[in-house]
Amino acid sequence: MKQKIKVGIAQIAPVWLDQKSTIKKVIQYIVKAKKNGCSLVTFGEAVLPGYPFWVELTNGAKFESDVQKDLYAYYVRQAISVEQGDLAEVCEAARQKKIAVVLGTIEKAANRGGHSCYCSLVYIDEKGNIKNVHRKTMPTYEERLVWATGDGHGLRTFPHEAFTLGALNCWENWMPLSRAALYGQGENLHVALWPGNVRNTIDLTRYIAKESRSYVISVCGVLTKDDISNKIPHAKLIRKKAPKIMANGGSCIAGPNGTFIIPPLKNKEKLLVAEIDYNEVLRERQNFDVAGHYSRPDVTKLIVNRERQSIVEIEE
């Protein structure tokens, strides 16, 4: 197991609400990350096929709105189905390049009927196997008008070289118990996925790193008004209401002592690369280990339900 590895942070704009074109772009950055020596590459929240920026711009809370119904129907069609193999090309790229991938997606979940959208981060290992699909446990604010509520099934960690990898979506990273669920499973390389804004990453990235004594990657997207294609329903309306910049990035990485290795990057598509050293985790755990020698499980303990939720349990 390598003690030092390179990690890639792909701060990209999706081909907004276009599944197939965005997959091609994701694969390009997987290849680019491997060329730069990375064993892991990460992508922002909902980058495939894109974050639902239209909701706050088009009166998304209006009931029985044809605008919202049109956009939702289009969104579901562009969402990915793991069971139907929509990520097969991404998995094959990971396998060929021998690189692990953390990818933010919008998932239409087969075990929940296939018509609702979940904000799901997907972890693909270096052999091209999908090892985890974590559905965001609680969509944030207006996201609840588009995304369904997830569950704890994906609150898991995975070995990656000498490290133990875990990930959370967006404001899940603010949730102390969600973080603790990963800390307790040995996490020391944390990936925080964001749609894209420096305000989200400038403080919390360093805080989580210092709290957990882990490396923390915050990976974001970027998006401008010019990225709204005419193919999208009500594109003209969305562009009329949209600011010039809808997502300004903010991707960064902090070390286990809470200092930035790469500070937040703003308003630019770029592959950021950093070398991280497992020994730095061990050095910082000397005086504080939140799930180890500084914990008191006899006093406080977390119970996690990792059952995949469904309304049907079939017995043959």
Catalytic residue list: 45, 136, 170
Cis upstream peptide for 49 (omega within 30°): yes
Half-sphere exposure of 270 (CA within 13 A, CB side): 14
**Which value, to the nearest 10 degrees, does the dihedral of the CA atoms of residues 112, 115, 120, 124 take?**
80
Q: What are the beta bridge partners of residue 168?
A: 192
| 309 vs 298: CA distance, rounded Å | 30
3-class DSSP assignment, residue 27: helix
The angle that helices 176-183 and 204-212 make with each other, rounded to 10 degrees, is 40
Query: Which positions ≥6 away from 96 have C-beta within 8 Å?
Result: 128
